[in-house]
Chain A
Amino acid sequence: MELDFSILSKFQYALRLGLWTTLKLTVICIVLGCALGFAVGLARTSRNIAVRAVSSAYVEFFRGTPVLVQLFWIFFCLPLMLGVELSNFTSGVVALTLYMGAITSETFRASLKSIGPEQFDACVALGLPRNVQVINVVLPQAVLRAIPTLLSNCVSLFKESALVSAVGMADLMFVGQNISNNTARPVEVLTVVALIYFVIAFPLTRAVSVIEARILRKLAI
Chain B
Amino acid sequence: MAMSFSLPLVKMQALHKSYADGAIQVLKGIDIEMKPGERVVVIGPSGGGKSTLLRVMMGLEKIDSGSVTFDGKPYISSGVKESKTVIDMSVRRSIGMVFQHYTLFPHLNVLQNLTLAPCKVRGEAKAKAQDRAQTLLERFGLGAKAKAYPAQLSGGQKQRVAIARALMLDPKLMLFDEVTSALDPELVGEVEQVILQLAAQNMPMMIVTHDMWFARNIASRVIFCAGGVVVEDGPPEQVLGSPKEERTKEFIDRVFHINQ
B interface residues with partner A (beta carbon < 8 Å)? 55, 58-60, 89, 92-93, 96-97, 99, 101, 103-107, 116-117, 120-121, 149-152, 165-166, 169
Contacts and interface: CB of A to CB of B under 8 A. Distances in A.
Given A118-B101, A219-B106, A124 B121 contact: no
A141 interface: yes
A125 interface: yes
B149 A219 contact: yes
Given A126-B165, A127-B121, A217-B151, 12 more contacts: A118-B103, A121-B60, A121-B103, A124-B60, A126-B121, A126-B169, A127-B89, A128-B116, A132-B120, A144-B107, A218-B151, A219-B107
B60 A125 contact: yes
Q: Select the residue from B60, B99, B105 with max chain A CB neighbours within 10 A.
A: B105
B121 A129 contact: yes
A141 B151 CA distance: 14
* 3 closest residue pairs by CB, A with B: A220-B151, A122-B103, A126-B117
A127 B106 contact: no
A137 interface: yes
A128 B106 contact: no
B99 A121 contact: yes
Contacts of A129: 120-121
A136 interface: yes
29 contacts: A118-B101, A121-B60, A122-B99, A122-B103, A122-B104, A122-B105, A124-B59, A124-B60, A125-B58, A125-B97, A125-B103, A126-B117, A126-B121, A126-B165, A126-B169, A127-B92, A128-B116, A128-B120, A128-B121, A132-B116, A136-B116, A140-B107, A141-B106, A217-B151, A219-B106, A219-B107, A219-B151, A220-B151, A221-B107
Contact of A127 (B93, B101, B149, B151): B93
Contacts of A136: 116, 120
A119 interface: yes
A85 B145 CA distance: 61
Interface residues of A, number: 21
A127 B60 CA distance: 11
B30 to A, nearest CB: 20
Contacts of B105: 119, 122, 137, 141
Interface string A126-161: 111100100011001100100000000000000000
